[in-house]
Amino acid sequence: MERTLVICLSAFLLGGVGLFAASRKAEPQIRRSRLIKFVTYFFIVNVIVVCAMAGQWFLSGMVMLILALGARELYCAVHQPGSELLSRAWAIWPIYLLISAGAVLFAWLSTPGKSVFVYLIVCAFDGFSQVAGQIFGRHRLAPTISPGKTIEGSLGGLLAAAGMALLIRPIVSWDARRSLLACCFIVATALAGDLLASLVKRRSKIKDYSNLLPGHGGILDRFDSFLFTSAAWLFAAKAAQLWHSLN
């Protein structure tokens, strides 16, 4: 685990260099906003990693806290004046509850190594997608859902996530092939979770879910990818176990 922490810190150092390069010609206010976001992200990532390493009780408790705060943000978004989703709240809450159940079970049933592996891949993809997008971004990935996302940024995030998967794979004792396959699944579900949360925001006519986290917005703005990915990972793992038992 000590090696994983060193890799995590090194990734932040590399991301900081990229952020500096992307912000050299930006307005002072934008540079300050990006710096605040970077520092906040550093704190958040390391808190979650420490909770995961401490064991299932700590990580499960943290996930339940995140989900509780996220539920409040989602309620406020859906009931926002002008929201297009108020009439569809009956469909939104079962989905959120399903994701919540999957995320909590993932935190409870996964080993510390697997929890850290999944979370850091999500973070690498998310963080470096933003940095690569700021430097190289030209083509919008989903302009009507998430205008800030670019194809170039997502590709940069994918490469960073793949590199992270190869570097930290000893914590899950996987070979390179299995680690990269897991990385592809994590990146796909992380992007899907992010776009789903962004779609809810657009339909609710809001920019962020709240202003709880400096530079990031709300809890759901920061943890949407991880919550969706952890739930998808759990359900996929259980489906695979069921398939093997039937065959």
For residue range 122-140, what is the model confidence (pLDDT) as tens digits? 999 999 999 999 899 899 9
CB atoms within 10 A of CB 234: 21
CA distance 169 to 164: 8
In the chain, what are the domain boundaries? 2-241
One-letter identity of residue 119:
Y
pTM attached to this predicted model? 0.95
Helix and strand counts by DSSP (H, E) for the chain: 8, 2
| pLDDT (0 to 100) of residue 24 | 83
**In the predicted model, is pLDDT for residue 101 greater than 90?**
yes
Residue partners of 31: CB distance under 8 A and separation at least 6:
23
Segment among 26-30, 104-108, 200-204 with least mean pLDDT: 26-30
Quote the tokens at residue 247.
């065959």
**In the predicted model, is pLDDT for residue 1 greater than 80?**
no
Are the CB atoms for 165 and 11 separated by under 8 Å? no
CA distance 78 to 89: 7
